Amino acid sequence: MCGRMALSLPQDAMAQLFQARPANDLPEVPDFNICPTDPVHIVTSTEDGPRSLSAMRWGFVPHWYKKPDDGPLLINARAETVADKPAFRDAVRVRRGLVVASGYYEWTKDAEGGRDPWYITRQDGSPLAFAAIWQEWTAADQSRLRSCAIVTTAATGAMTGLHHRVPVLIDPPDWALWLGENGKGAAPLMRAAADGVLGWHRVGRAVNSNRASGPTLIAPLRNGGDD
């Protein structure tokens, strides 16, 4: 699963890394507590133009919603069913993107039921590129909202100790295929990362609040306490 994330990569560095043209309305970075319904940085591609780095609402809005909160908040899409679910099946065929993050958070529970947060990153220090699907939704007043969901799959190996679901990561050699630039056949990319790709450490419980901010949220917790 992916329910909270952080991004510290400068916008010009993101644009260069993904060879994408940056939009003018990108969210400010760094942001160490990106929450559902916040705008996220997403890379998309079209057949007749360059890649774009733009902002989209994290929380996919199906076309039949009368307003963005007209139903469940769809921040994730399961890889096992994304091609069949009415909300997602068209998007996964023709509207795939890469949500950029430096890391994301997951939670475990202690003996008393308290929520202990962990910060998860790539061990090689490179940014995460989450497999995503997106859609443009049109309101009754004809205003438009672009939104996205992150594709998740079953966790494997050591990651199962943190959570049974993980976001699908797309490696650089596969970016073009996932974005639809290298034809079809992207379904095999919807798998868990191999053991050793990701690493994680405990962080303080301050991040349990969606109002918390600042780089201390991702600092390793060294004293064993709650803060």
Per-residue pLDDT of the chain (227 residues; tens, 9 = 90+): 678 999 999 999 999 999 999 999 899 999 999 999 999 999 999 777 789 999 999 999 999 999 999 999 999 999 999 999 999 999 999 999 999 999 999 999 888 888 999 999 999 999 999 999 999 999 888 999 999 999 999 999 999 999 999 999 999 999 999 999 988 889 999 999 999 999 999 999 999 999 999 999 999 987 655 55
192 belongs to a structural domain: yes
Range of the domain at 196: 5-218
Residue 226 lies in a domain: no
pTM score above 0.85? yes
Round to the nearest angstrom and report the end-to-end CA distance of the chain. Answer: 24
Domain count, the chain: 1
What is the CATH number for 202? 3.90.1680.10
| Residue 50 is assigned to a structural domain of this protein | yes
> Nearest to residue 167, comparing CAs of 62, 85, 88, 77?
77
Q: β-strand 144-154 against 76-78: which pairing, if any?
A: parallel
In this structure, is residue 22 part of a structural domain? yes
Q: Is residue 88 part of a domain?
A: yes
Q: Is 223 a member of any domain?
A: no
Q: Quick check: is 129 in a domain?
A: yes
- Whether residue 211 lies inside any domain: the answer is yes
